[in-house]
Amino acid sequence: MPRSPDPAELRCTIELEALAMRQGHRFVAGCDEAGRGALIGPLYAAAVILDPAISIPGIDDSKKLTARRRELLAEEIRAKAVAWQVVSVTAVEVDAINVYEASRQGMLRALKALRPVPDFILTDAMPLRENGVDFSIPHRAIIHGDALSVSIAAASILAKVERDAHMAKLDGAYPQYGLAKNKGYGTRDHLNALARFGPCPEHRKTYQPVKDCLLPLLNLVLPA
């Protein structure tokens, strides 16, 4: 059986965008999300249409970049892209519709807000469906898309930078969880803080580590 590709070995290029343009598409958008696995706070999604005539060196999967490099690239992407949008999906909505659907809805909202409207979309392994049918704009879901497509990678950078900034703000409101450092993910220090202090209103109540902390609290208030 062939070995699955290691994302670290993949190269982020304009090849997928160039292919779409050769097929007659003019505005090719990439979209991605950040914060899907986090225990707290909104999920962020972004959509970007890059200008094929303007190169932005260094764009890659946001997970491969340092925080400072992401911030510098995000600034350049916002300045040079044809269009970009970042949206957030609250923790309440993530709990209500599940994180997979929240990721899809976030991407759709970001894409719909783009001006000009894209005529082709590249997603990071996310099929785009709305009201039970395929999204009206042609699209292609790419496995490891954020490591292969510069447009998807640009979206991943914008979403990650916006979400990290929000985590820094939440850290000011809830310093006990160490959110500026762990970005809301289930690190040991975050899990220890959950066990000690319980969840805050921004935690995602359907995520198992958070649910595990809520159950003892529920038992305290339920009638015998």
- Residue 213 is predicted with a pLDDT of 86
Angle between the 15-22 and 150-173 helix axes, to the nearest 10 degrees?
Answer: 130
- Residue 83 is predicted with a pLDDT of 98
Q: What is the pLDDT of residues 47-74, one digit of tens each?
A: 999 999 999 999 999 999 999 999 999 9
Kindly report the pTM of this predicted structure.
Answer: 0.91
Q: Percent of the chain scored above 90 by pLDDT?
A: 88
Whether pLDDT at 3 is above 80: no
Please return the burial class of 157, using the count of CB atoms within 10 Å of its CB with bins 0-12, 13-18 and 19+: buried
- Residue 219 is predicted with a pLDDT of 45
- Residue 2 is predicted with a pLDDT of 47
Q: What is the pLDDT of residues 99-109, one digit of tens each?
A: 999 999 999 99
Whether pLDDT at 221 is above 80: no
Check: CB of residue 174 under 8 Å from CB of residue 202.
yes
- Residue 214 is predicted with a pLDDT of 82
Mean pLDDT over 183-198 rounds to 95
- Residue 25 is predicted with a pLDDT of 97
> What domains appear along the chain, each with residue ranges and CATH number?
10-171 (3.30.420.10), 175-221 (no CATH)
Q: Percent of the chain scored above 70 by pLDDT?
A: 92
Instruction: Give me the count of residues in the chain.
Output: 224
The number of beta carbons lying within 10 Å of the beta carbon of residue 58 is 14
Q: What is the pLDDT of residues 202-213, one digit of tens each?
A: 999 999 999 998
Please return the burial class of 153, using the count of CB atoms within 10 Å of its CB with bins 0-12, 13-18 and 19+: buried
Q: What is the pLDDT of residues 148-187, one digit of tens each?
A: 999 999 999 999 999 999 999 999 999 999 999 999 999 9
Confidence of residue 5 (pLDDT cuts 50, 70, 90): low
